Structure 1
Amino acid sequence: MDFKKFSEQYQTELLDNVLPFWLENSLDREYGGYYSCLDRTGKVFDTDKFIWLQAREVYMFASMYNKVEKKKDWLEAAEHGAAFLLQYGHDGDYNWYFALDRQGGPLVEPYNIFSYTFATIAFGQLHLATGNSRYADVAKETFARIRAKLDNPKGKWNKAVPGSRSLKNFALPMILCNLALEIEHLLPAELLDGLINNCLHEVLDVFYRPELGGIVLENVTLDGQLSDTFEGRLVNPGHAIEAMWFIMDLGQRLKREDLIQQATQITLNMLEYGWDKQFGGIFYFMDRSGHPPQQLEWDQKLWWVHIETLISLIKGYQLTGSQECLIWFEKVHDYTWKHFKDTDYPEWFGYLNRQGEVLLPLKGGKWKGCFHVPRGLYQCWKVLENIACKDVVQVV
């Protein structure tokens, strides 16, 4: 495998295609913030603004400024979105709404914890870029809200009858594994260590189930038991695989080879479990008992699932030398670039049917924004570049 060639492919796609698409099309110069709902060509088709996507775009441009190049346009784009979030995105006490109208009027209450998590990493990254203490304060205050909501993330907006069927969800400990490293510079060491240890316990000791063949579940009971219900049987292969590269990063930070090895093996388990052996690609939702999932979109192929899988596979190969990871990387790479990349217009498609045909030609919407594609391209570019450089050193 020509790692240098692959690295350049991801780099070029990021810098010449995807980031320019969002920079040119998403900034609302009149009312602030970003347009998320962009059609195939980049034209706005809806002006509602979703906080988690606004925050993700702030994070993305600030991150690129910090990690790739000190480009003025990227920092200005990040601060453009941050100004809108600070003015309109929360209730005054850093409870972050889910959706706003174009002018910043709140549409959906702050029920969604992921508005909070992405606001935290957005302002944490922007603080790194600027040194502005206001951004650090927002990140820390928001993180405090997250910690207070861990036992009941939706708070008063939880529609479940109290005590009827209490389940906890994988998504929050999963994202906190990543958030911990994103705001490491803002947290006391003791708090950070406690957060990391708790996240690792939840992901690897609670939601990962060796007795089910080494898969990761989306929901378990509050005491960590299996639940024979729609929610309790739910498997989201992409979620589990994405979490594994977060674990690999934590393994590197903690110098724990066992974490890296386990995360690599779980990646392979979930990919084998979730791969559509008839049409290729990774299923969106599955039922651990083989029953029909309640999600009607269960067999769709989604952009983020495949991009996050590429990250975990190439990191798994880099860190362990697993040839199985490398073989799967090339297979998933071929599927992803063939089906999700739009060869006629910038950015990537997000939604395919089971056969791999485009379902929705949008480039951004309520759930897809400036995040998974650019972050994934960056991660793969840098890991592949690192592998290529080591290969050159070894040859010399």
Structure 2
Amino acid sequence: MKEYAQLYRSELLEEVIPFWEKFSNDSIYGGYFTCLTPEGKVYDTDKFIWLQARQVWTFSKLYNSLESRPNWKAMAKNGIDFLEKFGRDNDGNWYFSLDQKGNPLVQPYNIFADCFAAMAFGEYYKSERNERYAKIAKDTFQNVLSRQQNPKGKYNKKYPGTRNLQDFALPMILCNLALELEHVLEGNQVEDLTNTIVDLIMNQFYDAESGLVYENISSEGKFVDSFEGRLLNPGHAIEAMWFVMNIGMRKNDPNLVKKAESVMYQQLEKGWDKEYGGIFYFMDAKGHPPEKLEWDQKLWWVHLETLVALAKTYAIDQSPKAAEWFQKVHEYTWNHFRDPVNGGEWYGYLSRKGELLLNLKGGKWKGCFHVPRALFEVSRTLENIL
């Protein structure tokens, strides 16, 4: 595993980050362009808040944790100023998208814009200790917590009181977000919140009998036999397990870490496409036709988050199983998502057979986050072993 540490670090610093530095910065109106062709040309100028915030976090994280490069700080500053000026409505909710100049396009229906805004301001605050950044992070985080039971609020299309489901995505994000914001939160908030969320994930969303992590469960924590209730997202579940591993290490709880490892392997083994390789995007728990038409696509973030989870697992126990799986997922990921012609950022969307579906490096849902974060996490994790 030794050679992977330098490989991932080199890819991060020599290919991926330079791509975003060169092509994504909007020096006129602030913020970033995320809709980029393989050559780095901008094909759409709309700005999506959660991608703006993720890019702020990425450059802030590199500046704070890797090297204090002025150009990284400047990139983060360009995004944080844009978000602070244009990102929220009068109630402090973060819009989903803006036009290039910062005018609102889509209402704040998506709580993940708020989650990543809090994450961005929390990380940026480490590099510039202005209390207003900490306040925005804390206020946004508290707003997220207040919306947990009805994340979409008045934009929720569901008929009330019929099939009330809990969605896995929000507790998954909160697992990580609580740790990311620990330096700005007070008292026992992180401890209390992570205890609650870990219990929810590991004892309700995870079903020990089937070995599956469901995307949706009832408000009482039960399986619901419907399209939504049978839905599996192996990538979500695997990503959540490395968040839980981090919590387990923070709590010095080896049993929690081992359980997260075990659950991670179950989702990986279930989600791996034995015919064509790679990990399915969605699956149906009972093998029925999935609700999502894109169920058999292979997505960049699913594989990258799996590599992070496997690197962390290997760092903990140096097991041959973790090394074998890491090498297997690494080979698929680097051979299919990495662009050998243009270099820079990676592709994101493949068919089941591994053929390129969308000829883009960034768009409405893909920005400067999963690729650089995974490269950073894997290289740092493996370097720490060495």
Structure 2 unaligned residues grouped into runs of 5+: none
Residue 316 of structure 1, CA deviation? 0.7
2:82 to 77, 81, 84: 84
Find the counterpart in structure 2 of residue 177 from structure 1. 175
Contact 2:231 2:291 in 1 (8 A): no
1:321 to 311, 318, 322: 318
Deviations along 1:359-395, one digit per CA (max 9) or x if unpaired, are 11100000000000000000000111122x2xxxxxx
Find the counterpart in structure 1 of residue 334 from structure 2. 337
Q: Distance in 2 between matches of 1:175 and 1:321?
A: 27
Q: Distance in 2 between matches of 1:73 and 1:184?
A: 26
Find the counterpart in structure 2 of residue 105 from structure 1. 103
Find the counterpart in structure 2 of residue 139 from structure 1. 137
Find the counterpart in structure 2 of residue 254 from structure 1. 251
Find the counterpart in structure 2 of residue 393 from structure 1. none
Find the counterpart in structure 1 of residue 266 from structure 2. 269
Find the counterpart in structure 1 of residue 148 from structure 2. 150
Contact 1:268 1:325 in 2 (8 A): no
Find the counterpart in structure 1 of residue 112 from structure 2. 114
Letter of the 2:304 partner, please give it: I
Any idea what SS the aligned residue of 1:69 has? coil
Deviations along 1:344-372, one digit per CA (max 9) or x if unpaired, are 11110000000001111100000000000
Contact 2:234 2:279 in 1 (8 A): yes
Deviations along 1:34-76, one digit per CA (max 9) or x if unpaired, are 0010011110000111000000000000000001100001111
Within 5 A, what are the aligned runs for 1:210-289? Answer: 210-212=208-210, 214-289=211-286
Within 5 A, what are the aligned runs for 1:287-306? Answer: 287-306=284-303
Q: Distance in 1 between matches of 2:187 and 2:207?
A: 30
Q: Distance in 2 between matches of 1:217 and 1:320?
A: 27
Any idea what SS the aligned residue of 2:209 has? helix
Q: Distance in 2 between matches of 1:189 and 1:339?
A: 45
Residue 317 of structure 1, CA deviation? 1.3
Residue 108 of structure 1, CA deviation? 0.7
Deviations along 1:104-150, one digit per CA (max 9) or x if unpaired, are 11111101010010000100000011111111010001011111101
Find the counterpart in structure 2 of residue 394 from structure 1. none
Q: How many residues align?
A: 385
Letter of the 1:259 partner, please give it: L
Q: Distance in 2 between matches of 1:386 and 1:137?
A: 33
Deviations along 1:262-309, one digit per CA (max 9) or x if unpaired, are 111111101100000000000000000000001111000000000000
Letter of the 1:45 partner, please give it: Y
Q: Distance in 1 between matches of 2:163 and 2:22?
A: 47
Contact 1:300 1:354 in 2 (8 A): yes
Contact 1:261 1:320 in 2 (8 A): no
Find the counterpart in structure 2 of residue 17 from structure 1. 15
Q: Distance in 2 between matches of 1:293 and 1:99?
A: 29
Q: Distance in 2 between matches of 1:146 and 1:223?
A: 21
Find the counterpart in structure 2 of residue 125 from structure 1. 123
Find the counterpart in structure 1 of residue 185 from structure 2. 187
Contact 2:9 2:375 in 1 (8 A): yes
Letter of the 2:261 partner, please give it: T
Residue 322 of structure 1, CA deviation? 2.6
Deviations along 1:206-256, one digit per CA (max 9) or x if unpaired, are 1001111x1100000000011011000000000000001101111111000
Normalized against structure 1, the TM-score is what? 0.96
1:39 to 8, 17, 37: 37
Letter of the 1:335 partner, please give it: Y
Q: Percent identity, aligned pairs only?
A: 54
The answer to which of 107-116 and 89-98 deviates more is: 89-98
Any idea what SS the aligned residue of 1:107 has? strand
Deviations along 1:308-348, one digit per CA (max 9) or x if unpaired, are 00000110111133321111000000000000000111110
Normalized against structure 2, the TM-score is what? 0.99
Q: Distance in 2 between matches of 1:331 and 1:357?
A: 18
Q: Distance in 1 between matches of 2:318 and 2:262?
A: 12
Any idea what SS the aligned residue of 1:65 has? helix
Contact 1:220 1:226 in 2 (8 A): yes
Runs of 4+ with >4 A deviation: none
Q: Distance in 2 between matches of 1:241 and 1:129?
A: 30
* RMSD after superposition: 0.8
Within 5 A, what are the aligned runs for 1:48-67? Answer: 48-67=46-65
Q: Distance in 2 between matches of 1:22 and 1:374?
A: 10
Find the counterpart in structure 1 of residue 204 from structure 2. 206
Q: Distance in 2 between matches of 1:130 and 1:27?
A: 20
Q: Distance in 2 between matches of 1:299 and 1:382?
A: 31
Q: Distance in 1 between matches of 2:83 and 2:315?
A: 37
